[in-house]
Structure 1
Amino acid sequence: MIKYLTFSDLDDRLIGQYRNGINLAFPDVILNSQVTKKYWSRLEKYFPQTQLFIVSDDNNLIGFMNAIPLFWDQPLSELPNEGWDWLLKKGINDFENEIEPNSLGGLQIIVAKGYLRKGYSKLLIENGKKVKENLGFKNFIIPIRPILKYKYPEMKMKDYMNLKENGEIMDPWIRTHMKSGAEIIKVCENSMNIIGDINFWEGLLKKEINRSGGYRVQEALNLVTINIEDDFGEYREENIWISYM
């Protein structure tokens, strides 16, 4: 038996499991996002009803989806290159400026390690679609982060997303969304953007940086571009805009 909860329903124990689930799901480079640090608490405060949780009968967190309402009246093909960062900021700014939303944006879907490969991610997707319908929204859009792309950080997303294995899309997360009825819109090439000085990037790389160029960071989808002369490094993560109508 499982329970469906929103953020308002969580007790302190489940909130702890939720926070830990996020920390375990992403590499350090993503957890250092300044956009997340600035806006995430407002997401939970403003939109507790669109933060969806599946909980076991013994009160353990199985998985969750974070989503945000926003207004978008242009063709989906014109969704911005900024992707995830834009989505979080747009939903928060729309709410604070009293702009009525007409779309739901999916920020992440995470399933706890002990519950993987049991269909819970598909269940969360289906519940996200139900939230979109219940709110009377036009679109459900998500900048997805393909889970095996980190193995190919030098490959462009437009090439990676078309890799096939046994006649199917190779990446399991892209494949799951396609089988759930999603349509691919386009690649958003700067979906998440993290910048910092050389000391910041040396901390993430855990080694000294002594040349400019592209560097691999653990589990990052793309290379980090380092400029020694300017004491500056930038990570631009490519995601894929998808939609459920």
Structure 2
Amino acid sequence: MPVTGLHIVSLAERPDLEEAMLTMESTWPAYVRPDPILIHWAFERHAQHQLVVLEGDGDGPERVVARAASVPLAWNGAPAGLPDTGWDEALRQCMADTYEGRAFTALCALEIAVVPDLQSQNLSVRTLQALRDHARGAGYGDLLAPVRPSRKHAEPQLSMVEYAARTRPDGLPEDPWLRAHVRQGAEVVKVCPVSMTISGSLAQWRDWTGLPFDTSGPVEVPGAVAPVAVDVAHDHAVYVEPNVWVRHRLTP
């Protein structure tokens, strides 16, 4: 069913939407658990950069159907300076830059998500376009993103370097989400091999995934883009997620 009556607001304009934005249904696996303190800080301190896509005509009920979370960074423009610890480091760097009073030069997208029943409506691309427009309007020269390729989870044993290098005959990335970014003007910069690190006890991982986690070694987990390292003797497992840095240049 086509989506209609969309409008986009920021949390600065509508702080009452923070809970709905955070609890919006999405396809993120249960074990992807960003630090809630850092997320709350980013949403509160940089509310103007948290975009919420609403479905509704403005006179009746509203439904959050997509979100775009981002934070500003004081980036020097050097691709080599983009951290290997992509997603995690973007939040930490934003906090450090904010408290040190550094001049922000780029906006970094942390997430663009769409409710599952509307993922066939091209809403992710429309939300990306909205975030690009927002970043440009706010005066940033670049929109950066540690992108989680949309189909990498189907080949968790393949290295992200190999996966990100795959292209179609027309030269565009084979992965649909990377391709969407490139079609919007982005360039693929490099892989960030330690973009997000998630650790937990074996009981936690069993709860998150429904898997037994009773054997040490690499375990393929639904939705994960790389295997989870399991250590039964020490009762923990660690997931290290690689992403791909992309850069949208917003100025000529």
- 2: CA distance, partners of 1:11 / 1:128: 18
Equivalent of residue 214 in structure 2, options 205, 210, 213: 210
Distance 1:68 1:11 in 2: 16
> For residue 157 of structure 1, what is the aligned residue in structure 2?
160
Unmatched segments (≥5 aa) in structure 1: none
Task: Provide the C-alpha distance between the structure 2 equivalents of 1:15 and 1:3, rounded to a whole number of angstroms.
Answer: 16
Does the 8 Å CA contact 1:185/1:243 hold for their aligned counterparts? yes
Which secondary structure does the structure 1 equivalent of 2:80 belong to? helix
Partner in structure 1 of residue 55 of structure 2? 56
Paired letter, 2:210: K
Tell me how far apart the structure 2 counterparts of residues 107 and 175 of structure 1 sit (CA, whole Å). Answer: 18
Among candidates 171, 182, 194, match of residue 178 of structure 1: 182
1:88-118 deviation digits (Å, cap 9, x = unpaired): 1111222133222111111011122343233
- Asked whether 1:106 is paired with 2:109, we answer yes
Two-structure CA RMSD over aligned residues (Å): 2.2
2:43 match = 44
Q: Is the 8 A contact 2:13 2:48 kept in 1?
A: no
Distance 1:209 1:133, change over 3 A: closer
Deviation readout 1:121-148 (Å, 9 max, x if unpaired) = 2222222222222232232110000111
Q: For residues 78 and 100 of structure 1, do their structure 2 counterparts lie closer, same or farther at Cα, with a shift above 3 Å needed?
A: closer
**Alignment equivalent of 1:141, drawn from 140, 144, 150:** 144
Paired AA for residue 49 in structure 2: T
What is the count of residue pairs matched by the alignment?
Answer: 240
Residue of structure 2 aligned with 1:188, choices 181, 187, 192: 192
Cα distance in structure 2, aligned partners of 1:27 and 1:213: 21
| Equivalent residue number for residue 122 of structure 1 | 125
**For residue 93 of structure 1, what is the amino acid of its counterpart?**
A
Kindly provide the amino acid, as one letter, of the partner of residue 54 in structure 2. V
Secondary structure of the corresponding residue to residue 9 of structure 1:
coil
Deviation per residue, 1:149-196 (Å, 9 max, x gap)? 111111111111233567553321111111111000100011000112
Distance in 1 of aligned mates of 2:222 and 2:86:
22
User: Quick one: distance in 2 between partners of 1:198 and 1:62?
Assistant: 33
Q: Which residue of 2 aligns with 1:236?
A: 240
Distance 1:218 1:170 in 2: 21
Moved more, 104-113 or 127-136: 127-136
Q: 1:82 aligns to what?
A: 85
Task: List gaps (5 residues or longer) in structure 2.
Answer: none
1:29 and 1:220 in contact (8 A); partners too: no
